[in-house]
Amino acid sequence: MTLAENARFAFTPDMTICRVLNGMWQVSGGHGRIDSAAAVEAMFAYHEAGLSTWDLADHYGPAEDLIGAFRRQFAARYGEGRLGEIQAFTKWVPPPGAMTRRVVEDAIDVSRRRMGADRLDLLQFHWWDYSDRRYLDALKHLADLRDEGKIRQLALTNFDTDRLVVIVDHGIRIVSNQVQYSLVDQRPAARMAAFCASHGITLLTYGTLLGGLLSEAWLGRAEPNRGSLATISQQKYKNMIDAWGGWTLFQQLLAALKNIADKHGLNIAAVGLRAILDRPAVAGVIVGARLGLAEHIAANSRVFDLTLAPDDLAPLEPVIAQSRDLMRVIGDCGDEYR
């Protein structure tokens, strides 16, 4: 399968990515049992379809190990010279504590060993407690490791705009921030996107399909209770829908999206993804991959065949206008974790 030209994005001067990233949170538990051999074989199918960029983390169960196995098998099949076709973006989410050079470097070395990589393509850093400013110590050490060649690029996960300002003011160069962004959760548009665009930082977005709730499968369905939601992703994003405006309003949103999707001969998910991909500062959207259990390769790829004009999205505006302001309800990006 050959993706449209707009599927690739110049993420940094030395790295292009696929704008739909394969999310590996789903291998960490709560999404069905993952068979490692089947998962790695599925990763080949994603790659061969052009979906070559992976989002994972040190705490996503076996995610880093799966990348390592995939890289080894990929090199055996195609030669080590082609390993550069794979982009694997991991995260470091340390517990509170002193951020010495040794602590930071040891953590990065663990990820490098698990992933079978001399250099991490992208290290996305998360910090739980802003009142503990040792996150700046960690970032300074990570920047040194980047400059020394152990990390290719340095990024953030779920930092808010105020902390982005602090980090930039300290002269720490980052290339992206990973945040929740969807037609339901549009908090990045309030402050963050403009700041990122003016400072050469891009956004990688997750939750864009609300754990699969933003789809035809949920259109016209009665409001589910927690026990009827099949995955922890669906449980998480059902809570977000409740905070946004509730199930009845969400059904109105799905119905409006279905009309747009039908007009273009696509599905609700493609419209939801394209709408966020077209937002300022967004480099890519992350779509969860339940490897070996449920594949959506063809559907994910079709988003690149879709062009949305402003009048396509206009019917969404009166629906979204009825929703709550999540900046007021929750706070800025990532505040739900603090």
What average pLDDT score do residues 29-34 get? 68
Q: What is the CATH number of the domain that holds 286?
A: 3.20.20.100
Q: Which residues contact 77 (CB under 8 A, 6 or more apart)?
A: none
Dihedral sign, CA of 310, 275, 280, 18? negative
In a domain, 313, yes or no: no
Residues 86-116: tens digit of each pLDDT: 999 999 999 989 999 999 999 999 999 999 9
Q: Which domain holds residue 96?
A: 6-212+273-306
In a domain, 317, yes or no: no
- Which range, of 2-6, 53-57, 76-80, 309-313, averages the lowest pLDDT? 2-6
Which candidate, 195, 226, 319, 312, places its Cα nearest to that of 264? Answer: 312
In whole angstroms, what is the distance from residue 121 CA to residue 176 CA? Answer: 13
Residue with tokens 């709560």: 30
Global pTM exceeds 0.75: yes
In a domain, 23, yes or no: yes
In a domain, 156, yes or no: yes
In a domain, 295, yes or no: yes
In the DSSP assignment, the letter for residue 255 is H
Q: Which residues contact 221 (CB under 8 A, 6 or more apart)?
A: none
The alpha carbon torsion through 250, 254, 255, 261 (nearest 10 deg) reads: 160
What is residue 47's predicted lDDT score, i.e. its pLDDT?
A: 95
Three-point CA angle 215, 268, 9, nearest 5°: 110
What is residue 295's predicted lDDT score, i.e. its pLDDT?
A: 72
> E strands within 126-263?
151-157, 176-180, 202-206
Residue 311 tokens read as 């009048």
In a domain, 182, yes or no: yes
Three-point CA angle 116, 293, 84, nearest 5°: 30
Number of domains in the chain: 1
In a domain, 332, yes or no: no
In a domain, 287, yes or no: yes
Residues 195-219: tens digit of each pLDDT: 999 999 999 999 999 999 999 999 9
What average pLDDT score do residues 41-63 get? 95
Mean pLDDT for all residues in the chain? 95
More confidently predicted of 129 and 4: 129
Q: Is the distance from CB of 48 to CB of 20 less than 8 angstroms?
A: no
Q: Is the distance from CB of 239 to CB of 317 less than 8 angstroms?
A: no
Question: E strand or H helix at 139, and its extent?
Answer: helix 135-148
